[in-house]
Amino acid sequence: MNTLPTSSWKPGDAVMLAYLTGTLALTDTGALVARTSPNSSAGVLLVWPYGYYTARDSRGVIHIYDATGTDLLSVGDDFSVAGGFLSQEDPGVGADQTPTFYVNSTPQKVNKSAQ
């Protein structure tokens, strides 16, 4: 089990309602990001709800689990979440000034071929 950057947010708490869609990707430095454009190597850093964690399956693929142990996403999945960006002054912003999105919902897998 590996840890993810998490916040204190839990279901039932007040939420931010920005909508983010992307593909869950792993950066060269090991961070999980949302790639919001297929032609971009950059991504949006994600801060997950309290209790979320990661683990690798037998093939080495990283999965994200919620606090109850439900498998929600794996690297390469297209997904959407609600939440929001915080200001650059916030300590949660990536050290390299990468935008950081605070997830305030359970991620939903997105079937891009159905869009």
Going residue by residue through the chain (115 aa), what tens digit of pLDDT does each one get?
A: 566 889 898 888 988 999 999 999 998 888 889 998 877 777 888 999 999 999 999 999 999 999 999 999 999 999 999 999 876 555 554 555 567 899 999 999 998 665 5
User: Which residues are CB-contacts of 90 (< 8 A; sequence separation ≥ 6)?
Assistant: 100
3-state secondary structure of 71: strand
pTM above 0.95, yes or no: no
- The tokens describing 108, both together, are 């939903």
Domains of the chain: 2-114 (2.40.50)
d(CA 71, CA 63): 7
